[in-house]
Amino acid sequence: MALRRPRALVYGLLAASLAINLIGAGYFGFVGFRPKPPRTAESTIDFVTRRFPAPVAEAVRAKLEERRDELREAMKEMRAARRETRDAMSDAPFDADRADKAFADARAKSSDFQKVIHSAIISALPGVPEADRAKIDRNDD
């Protein structure tokens, strides 16, 4: 009878460990490894405005909302340019000139996308009091 107790304890610990591992794997499978949703104009506006203190964020959000269609179009063009780079990289035979042009276009479209955001920020700032602008985080991260 003394030999059965340690086995039962070992089997119990094994079952508990297995249960914990399955729960952990289920959690990470459900929460940790889901693909990110595609970036939208709204998620971009949210991302940009989160980086500013509330009064500045409100002004920037208003200007970005005014340019929502332009932002959507710039995102659409940037995605198309990125798809073109992937197509050019997978060409058979590989055409270095096509890939170089595709990457140059992708850089230009990314720049155009950023210009929409940056110009909205610039147009929002004159209406924000100096004291509120002084609260803008100056950290590099």
The dihedral formed by the CA atoms of 80, 85, 91 and 96, expressed in degrees to the nearest 10: 140
> Are 124 and 59 in contact, with CB atoms under 8 Å apart?
yes
The angle subtended at Cα 135 by Cα 134 and Cα 136, nearest 5°, is: 90
Give helix then strand counts, H and E, for the chain: 6, 0
pLDDT of 8 = 74
**31/74: higher pLDDT:** 74
Residue 140's pLDDT is 60
Q: How much is the pLDDT for 11?
A: 77
**Domain boundary assignment for the chain:** 1-34, 41-133
pLDDT score of 3 more than 60:
no
Q: How far apart are CA 122 and CA 109, in angstroms?
A: 20
What global pTM score does this model have?
Answer: 0.69
Give tens-digit pLDDT for 14-61.
Answer: 788 877 877 877 766 666 666 677 788 899 999 999 989 999 999 999
Segment 77-127, tens digit of pLDDT: 999 999 999 999 999 999 999 999 999 999 999 999 999 999 999 999 998
The per-residue pLDDT for 30 is 65
